[in-house]
A and B are shown apart, each in its own frame.
Chain A
């Protein structure tokens, strides 16, 4: 077996190769399984690693994550520093009293970052109408579903005001 030769000023023994990354599971801060790494993105001018592209599964749109959001790369998975906001899509939204407001149909993010500005919630049967926009400040908790910090009267006021 011939030994590989290095032409570099650095110790490359502790680096991770693209081969190590590809196919690895991506887990976010909430320990949610996001998908698997399908591309490694490199800036062609600066020759720097800039992020990863994630395959979320059959018929689902992919997701690109910048390197600043990557927490660590381990032998079995890639851990993110963030809870991916896109994960909110499709979750049921409950108001403070447990009424169903609707389902999150889309989200508005702050300049392609992971910060939610508002949720677009859709429901034909909701007491609020077909589609409502709920500002992020009224979100109490995001878990399996979304809990709001306000009740239906307050929510109605907010929506009429906006």
Chain B
């Protein structure tokens, strides 16, 4: 431990603690190894002095803020998340359980700012669907929706209700 004068009540362990300055520009990986982006900012709560979250940038897209509750592991090299960010589901193909492609995810509606999905807005060439998460069987490389789910019908119903309110 040469090189520093220590003024601390805790046993210093600088080798294991991470230098935040060095984290800037490092990659952020999802649970499955997707490169979510690169750290551009690290946010610390000025009251509790604790790390709150990070801001991620990638390819001129809108920056993403991820709170520390979604961190799985932090190292000098990267931040590993404990989930797949649902905002990255945009662009995934949506298929029914019998393999029919109904479109691509255009927008992900989430519960507030959390990672939990409420519904997907799916578009194809001619149609637009709103699929609630209850109608989704699983999300992996594709979004697989339940067999007897009539996506078009639900969307029309939603739209007509909105019109009535207007």
Contact = CB atoms under 8 A, between A and B. Distances in A.
Interface of A: 24-25, 27, 30-33, 74-79, 91-92, 94, 96-99, 141-147, 151
Given A31-B144, A79-B99, A97-B73, A145 B27 contact: no
Contact of A98 (B75, B84, B97, B140): B75
B99 A74 contact: yes
Contacts of B131: none
Interface of B: 26-27, 29-35, 73, 75-80, 84, 95-101, 138, 140-142, 144
Nearest to B28: A98
A145 B31 CA distance: 9
A66 B92 CA distance: 28
A146 B144 CA distance: 23
Contacts of A92: 33
A94 B72 CA distance: 14
Given A30-B140, A31-B140, A144 B33 contact: yes
Contact of A33 (B34, B96, B141): B141
Given A30-B141, A92-B33, A97-B77, 12 more contacts: A31-B142, A32-B142, A74-B98, A94-B29, A98-B26, A98-B29, A98-B79, A98-B80, A141-B32, A144-B34, A145-B32, A145-B33
B30 to A, nearest CB: 7
B85 to A, nearest CB: 12
Given A98-B77, A143-B32, A147-B80, A77 B98 contact: yes
A114 to B, nearest CB: 17
